[in-house]
Each structure stands twice: as C-alpha cells, then as structure tokens.
Amino acid sequence: MQTPDAPHIPVLLRPLLQAVAPVLGTWLDGTFGAGGYSKGLLAAGAARVIGIDRDPLAFEMAAPWRGDYGDRLVLVENTFSNLDAVAEDIAPEGLDGVVLDLGVSSMQLDQAERGFSFLRDGPLDMRMSQSGPSAADLVNEADEGTLADILYHYGEERASRRIARAIVEARKTAPYESTKQLVATVERCLPRPKPGQSHPATRSFQALRIAVNDEFGQLIEGLEAAERALKPGGKLAVVTFHSLEDRVVKRFFQARSGRAPGGSRYAPETAAEAAAFDLVTRKGVGPDEIELAENPRARSAILRIGARTESPAGRADRHSLGLPAPLFETDRSRGRPR
C-alpha cells in the first residue's frame, strides 16, 4: 500500500488516455484526489483541467506543485454531483471531457485519522468532506434493521444481520469511537479468512463508507451532471472499483446510449429517447499485466467511456440503474443520522 509520501499511481490512466485521444480543450477531473488524472490529462494535451474534490486535504497536498501548471489547472472544493454548475462558471462553452475515479483514494486510506481503513486504528470517521455525520454517528445511533440493510445492500455482506446485532449489543457497553473497535466486532462474527481471502471487515467498511458519503446518490447525480456539461463529442470516463458501482455505471451508459434492455410483460417497453452517449468502450476495460505489476490497487478497477452526442441531456430512470435503496438519511437541521 502506498504511503503518503509515495507517488500516487492513477489507475487505468494509460488505456483511458488512449481511448479518448486526442486530449484537447477543457477537461474536468471530478475526483481530484492526489491529482494523478489531472496531471496525466495536462501532459497528454488538455489546454485546461478543472479539478474538483470535496476533501479539502486534497488541495492542501497539491499546494507544492499546482503552481507548476499556472492557469491550466483550476481547483474547486465541491462534489462532482455539482460538476455542471462548476463547469458553467469556469467553462461555459462546455467540457471536452470528464473523468471520475470512484471510491476512496489511497491517500485517504493511508491516513489512520480519517477512519477509512480497517488495517489502521483511528477515529471511526470515514467522511470524505470532513463534515457532517460520521461513521461513528451511524454505528452508534442507527437501529439494528437499518445497520443490517446498509451492510447487505452497500457491502453485499451476507452476515449483515449477525454483525448488526453484535454492533447494537456492544454499543450498550461503550460507544464505538475507533476503527479497531468495529473491526473486532466484525471479526467475532465471521470465520477467520483463508489465505488469499479479503479481510473480514472489508465489506462492512465499504458499506459504511458508501452510506456516510452518499456515494450512490453522488454517483448518479454526477453522471447526469456530466451529461449536461459535456459538449457534443465530449468524453465521459468512469473508473469503478467494485461491482455495485460498475453495475450502476454500466446501466447508465446502456440507458443513455439507447442500449438498455427492452421491456417485458411486467414492464412494457417505453418510447426510446434519443441517445445522449455513444459507447467508446463496448465492454468494461480492466488492467493489463503491466499495470497490475506496477499497481496492485488496479486489480478490481473497470473503466467505461462514452462520447456525448448532440441530443439533449435527460435523466436516467433510477429504478433501472441497480441503485441500492437509500438507507442513510440525514436530518440536516441537527446534523445527525436518523
């Protein structure tokens, strides 16, 4: 695993740049992170890159080098679900490309105090924006049924009910404050992993992170925002790291390119909208052997790319995208999970 001082290796950057070549005009990197994609796009020929991140730490870490690019690199603290509004302010003529690298970044995983990693003890936080309700709020206050649903739908954890029951029982004695506490609870509920299997807490931590950061809500809103912001011919490139994300992205591109499955007797086929995207990658693109040797983190990554048509932007049907049901709502007046 990379350390904070190690160079960040952007996943699937080579096949991405090859598929969208030539790289010209204004691109938007909706998940700036350590800046790997932004640097790659600028080196490949982009005239300008707008980098968006909701984590203020990303821009603090970019401070030593961002000036090297002058006004070719514009950084904005925001969420990529708002990327069309950001683009309207900075590039009202429209974007030539958007890239989204989903999930948690390696720099966030490497910092124990952020609470994303089950391998490092730290506060049970997991907030990408460093604001709002944390994972500790969720784990300590959500009822058993809600916790079980989150673990099952967002983490595909088959032992979700057992783990949720154990969490609720353990928090009667002391509230959850650290990642170490949660890992210990999950490990008690699951068998010891065999060699080559993932850590027992992998799925639970994924599920809680997705819930805390509303990652699926952000994802679909971001895909639609990119559709609105791209010029005709502009490219949307999305890198995912787990099957739930990839399913949503795949179905979005199918639906918005006119390739969604037809209706059935239970769900009659509706009138097709004009395609908003042409598929650049017909299938998901994974890492080759060279990239896997350079960056094991790329193992589960999948890249999908679409090119914007001249058809008006629309809205994807949520029911057809495979989105898990929204399970974690926030009472914004109190800033607490409910």
> According to the annotation, is 36 in a ligand binding site?
yes
Residue located via tokens 């821009």: 59
Which tokens in the block code for residue 65?
Answer: 């080098």
3 state DSSP class of 87: helix
**Which amino acid is present at 318?**
R
Q: From residue 50, how far is each of 45, 57, 72, 289, 307 by CA, in Å?
A: 14, 17, 8, 31, 19
Exposure pattern of 39-59 as b/e (b: 16+ CB <10 Å)? bbbbebebebbbbbbbbebbb
Taking the C-alpha atoms of residue 131 and residue 78, their distance in angstroms, rounded to an integer, is: 13
80 is in an annotated binding site: yes
Name the packing angle between helices 202-212 and 179-189 (round to 10°): 130
Q: What is the DSSP string of 169-224?
A: HHTTTS---BHHHHHHHHHHHSPPPPTTPPPTTHHHHHHHHHHHTTHHHHHHHHHH
Where do we find the tokens 């949720």? Answer: 164
Is 53 part of any known ligand binding site?
Answer: yes
Q: Which amino acid is at 157?
A: E
By C-alpha distance, which of 2, 71, 62 is closest to 37?
A: 62
User: Which residue positions form the known binding site for S-adenosyl-L-methionine?
Assistant: 35-37, 53, 80, 101, 108
User: Which residue positions form the known binding site?
Assistant: 35-37, 53, 80, 101, 108
